[in-house]
Structure 1
C-alpha cells in the first residue's frame, strides 16, 4: 500500500494528466484504425498507398513472326489457239473440215489429249437430228358441190334380209327417224332382230347437225355395233377438220361432207333440188369410224321395186368398190314420188355377204307432204 504522501495534490494532478493523455492517445488510435479508409491521407501517405495497390505492368512477351506462305504453282494450260478470221459472208456458218479448207486458212490447234474433243454438228446434221414433224395425212379427193333441198321429216320401218358369207340367212327389222327442223336435223337408224318379247339391236347410227346451202351439215355422228364400244366422228366446220374418237387421225373438212347415216338423205336432197345433178358421177366426202373417203355414186337407171307399200318407181344409184379405198358395194334406191326418200339400201361386202333393207312403211310428219 502506497503512502498517503504519494497522493499529494501536485502528484495527483500529474498522474491524472498522464492518464488523460494516455487515454486520449488510445481513443485516437482506435478511431484512426477503424476509420482509416474515410480519413484523407497526406501527400506522402497517398503515394505509399498508391504504390502498394498498383501492380507493376508485365513485360511484353515476344511473339514469333507469322510464317511466310508460298504461292501455289499456277496450272499449266495449253496455249489458246490463234483466232480464225472468217470472211464476212460466212460469219454465221461453221468452218469447213480441214481437208476442204481453202489455202491460207488457219486451222485451230487440237485440244489436249486428256480433254474430250467437242465438235459442233454441221448444219445438215443438226437439222436431221431435230424431231421431224409428223407426215401430213394423204390428200383427200375433192368432192363436188351440189344444190340441195332436204326432204321433210319422216319415220321409216324397214325389213332386213341378211345372207352371211357362208350362206347363212336371217331376217331382221330396222327403224329410221329423220327429223328436219329447218336449220337443224336429227337422224337415227336402228338395225336389229325382233324376238317374241324383245328386240336386239345389232347396229345403231345417230347423226345431228345443221341444214344449210350445201344440204345436210353433220356436226356429230356415232356408231354402236353389238359387242363393240361406241365410236364418234366430229365434223368441225370452223376448224375445217374431221376427227375421230377411235383414232388420232385428222382429215380436212369439205363443204358437203356427210356421215354414213346421212348419205341417203343427202342424195335425196340433191335429187329434189335438180334431178339432172344425178347424171354422171356424184362425189360425196363421207366420214366413217376412223377415216373419211369420197364415195362416188353412179346412176344405174330407173327401176321398179315391189314393197309392202306397193310398187314404187325408183332411181337406182350405186357406189361400186374402189380399189385402195373401200371394197364393198353400196346401192341406194330413191323414190321421186315420195320426196326422193331412200326406200331400199343394200350393202354387198367383198366376202360376198349381203344385207338389204327395204321400206315397209313411211310416216311423213310434214303436213304438206311435198
Structure 2
C-alpha cells in the first residue's frame, strides 16, 4: 500500500510531500480574512479506520485552548491494537491573520518526533526533519492549526458562507509545506455519537501534491462551528474517520 493512513491520522486531527522553495505568489497564499475563534474545549471523537482490508477502532481527543493572544491545540489518536498512533501539537500566537503558529510537533507510531519552527522575527519556516525552508508572509498554518483557522473563519462568515467558497492556506507538515485549498459544499445532516447535526461540508481540493488523498470536514454552526466529523480517505479505499462523541467547553 502506497500510503499508511494511520500514520497520517493526525492531520489536524486527521490530518498528511516534498516541494521546492521557489513558490509563485498564488502558491503561498497570504490572505487576511475575518475570524472568530471558537470557545476553548476538549473534544472526544469515535475513530474508525480501514487499512489494507483490516477494520480498526479507537478514540481521538483534541484539546483546543486560547487566551491572552496565544493558542494551543493538541490532537491524539489511539486504536485498540496499537495504543497511541499519532500526537500533534501546534502552539503560537493570535495576530491579524488569526492563528500564527510558532511550533508544530508531530509524533507517529514507531517514528521519531519532528518539529516545524515558525520564526516570525526572522520570517522563516524550517523543519527538524529536512533542510527545506520557506519565507513567512503571514497566515501560514500547520496540519494541527489549519482546521481551527478554518473553523474561526467559518464562524466569522456565519450565514454568509456560501457553497463554492474557496479558502487557501500554506500548510506545514513534517518536513515541508504546501498550499491547501478548501471548498465549501452544501449543508448536510450528519449523525454522530453526540447526536445529529446540520453541518457545513468542507472538502480539501485535490492537487498534484495530494492527488488521491481526500480530506472532508463537517462543521456544525449550532455547535459553535466545531468539527463534528472528519474523514481522510485515499484511492485505495482505505480511510480514517472521526465522529464527535463529546464537547466539554473550558
* TM-score normalized with structure 2 length: 0.85
Are the aligned partners of 2:84 and 2:109 in contact in 1 as well (CA < 8 Å)?
yes
SS at match of 2:152: helix
Cα distance in 1 for residues equivalent to 2:137 and 2:148: 18
Q: Say yes or no: does 1:209 pair with 2:92.
A: yes
Is the Cα contact below 8 Å between 1:162 and 1:170 reproduced in 2?
A: yes
SS at match of 2:132: strand
Match of 2:192 in 1: 307
Q: 2: distance between equivalents of 1:277 and 1:287?
A: 26
Tell whether the 8 Å contact from 2:73 to 2:91 is kept in structure 1 after alignment.
Answer: yes
2:58 corresponds to 1:175: no
Residues in 2 aligned to 1:299 and 1:228: alpha-carbon distance in whole angstroms: 34
SS at match of 2:150: helix
Using the alignment, how far apart are the partners of 1:329 and 1:320 within structure 2? 8
Select the residue among 161, 165, 171 that pairs with 1:280: 165
Q: Is the Cα contact below 8 Å between 2:58 and 2:78 reproduced in 1? A: yes
**Which residue is equivalent to 1:247?**
130
Task: Say what the alpha-carbon RMSD is for the aligned residues.
Answer: 1.7
Structure 1 residue 326: Cα displacement: 1.4
- Cα offset, 1:277, TM superposition: 5.4
Compare the two structures and name the one with the higher helix fraction. Answer: 1
Normalised by the length of structure 1, the TM-score is 0.58
Residue 293 of structure 1 is matched in structure 2 by: 178
Cα distance change of structure 1 residues 350 and 236 upon mapping to structure 2, 3 Å threshold: farther
Q: SS of 2:131's equivalent? A: strand
Number of residue pairs the alignment of both structures matches: 225
Distance 1:359 1:176 in 2: 11
Deviations 1:57-88 (A, max 9, x none): xxxxxxxxxxxxxxxxxxxxxxxxxxxxxxxx
Deviation at 1:194, TM superposition (A): 4.2
**Equivalent residue number for residue 138 of structure 1:** 22
Deviation beyond 6 Å, 4+ runs, structure 1 = none
TM-superposed CA distance for 1:189, in Å, is 0.5
Instruction: Point out where structure 2 has 5 or more consecutive residues left out of the alignment.
Output: 1-19
1:1-370 equivalences under 5 Å are 137-139=21-23, 141-143=27-29, 144-164=31-51, 166-194=52-80, 200-275=83-158, 276=160, 279-323=164-208, 325-327=209-211, 328-365=213-250
Q: Which has the higher contact order (CA 8 A, sep 6+)?
A: 2
